[in-house]
């Protein structure tokens, strides 16, 4: 193979690999909403928060039941 051709082929191959790498890393979103949904899905609620809420609720008196809870209780 002509050394010039081989060099050109190698260069093209490297460029393709580089471009593919960029495509893998980049992420495009069709809309602002889609982007925010992705962000929300990646955002973790602090694990300690559930216990903190539960502890606070444990110190609360039982709240009055809503109409639908009273309704279900009658059935």
Partner 1 sequence: MAKPVEAGSAFAFDEARPKAVPDSTTRPAGDGPPSIGDQPNWQSLGFGAIYEEHSRQIFYLALRFLGDPTQAEDATHDVFLKAYRKLGEFRGDSAMRTWLYRITINHCKNLLQTWHQRHMVNNADDSLWETAVASSESPLRVLEIKELGQRIQKTLDVLPEEYRLLLLLVADQQMSYEEIATLTEQSADAVRGKLHRARKAFVAQFQKFT
* Least separation in angstroms between CB 70 and partner 1: 9
What's the farthest any 2 CA atoms get from each other in the chain?
90
Residue 26, Cβ neighbours under 10 Å: how many? 7
- Shortest approach of partner 1 to residue 8 CB, angstroms? 29
Q: Which is nearer to partner 1, 10 or 38 (CB)?
A: 38
- The residue among 7 and 70 lying less far from partner 1, judged by its C-beta, is 70
In angstroms, what CA-CA distances link 50 with 6, 46, 47, 60? 62, 8, 6, 16
Residues that bind partner 1 (CB under 8 A): 22, 25-58, 60, 62-69
């Amino acid at each position: 193979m002509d050394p010039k051709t081989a060099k050109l082929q190698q260069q093209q191959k490297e460029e393709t690999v580089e471009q593919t790498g960029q495509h893998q890393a980049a992420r495009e979103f069709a809309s602002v909403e889609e982007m925010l949904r992705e962000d929300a899905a990646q955002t973790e609620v602090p694990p300690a928060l559930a216990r903190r809420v539960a502890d606070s609720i444990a110190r609360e008196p039982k709240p009055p039941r809503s109409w639908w809870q009273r309704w279900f209780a009658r059935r």
